[in-house]
Amino acid sequence: MELFAKYYQLPTTEIQADVVIGDNEQGIKTVIGNPQAIGYVSIGAAEYSAASGNPIKLLPIAGVAASTAAGVGTRGQLARPLNFVTSEKPKGLTKDFIEFARSPQVKQIIEEQYFVYISK
């Protein structure tokens, strides 16, 4: 909710959620089950769900279509980075994995999973 509130410059005290959801799938099911609902989930999860025939509508942000192909999140839109967290400075296989995961080599894998690839 904090990301949504920040993007729309709303104090979190002004947002009254009828339902607080856990994951993307739960959010999508909640919206499907209530024609008056609006929710926000990962663009990849929403795009996959819509492509699978679920009756949801992906709304544009600042005139940009809501799709992974449009690069939603790459222009400072409603987006947040995913992070790796370790208990100590990464080394060995952990360091190798993190470097691989942040490399251009994973672009296709990321896009196949309906995420937006942003180069470092």
Q: Are residues 11 and 49 in the same domain?
A: yes
On whether both 43 and 60 belong to a single domain, the answer is: yes
Residues 90 and 68 in one domain: no
Could you tell me if 23 and 68 lie in one domain?
Answer: yes
**What is the span of the domain harbouring residue 51?**
2-78
Q: Are residues 72 and 98 in the same domain?
A: no
Return phi, psi of residue 61, to 5°.
-120, 125
pTM of the entire predicted model: 0.64
Predicted pLDDT of residue 8: 74
User: Which residues make beta-bridge pairs with 64?
Assistant: 61
DSSP notation for 70-110? TTTTTTSSS--------SS---HHHHHHHHHHTSGGGHHHH
71, 85: one domain: no
Instruction: Summarize pLDDT for 29-61 with one digit per residue, the tens.
Output: 999 998 888 888 888 889 899 999 999 998 887
Count: domains in the chain:
2
Same domain (yes/no): 47, 96: no
Under 8 Å between Cβ of 105 and 97: no
Can you say whether the dihedral through the CA atoms of 85, 91, 97, 100 is positive or negative? positive
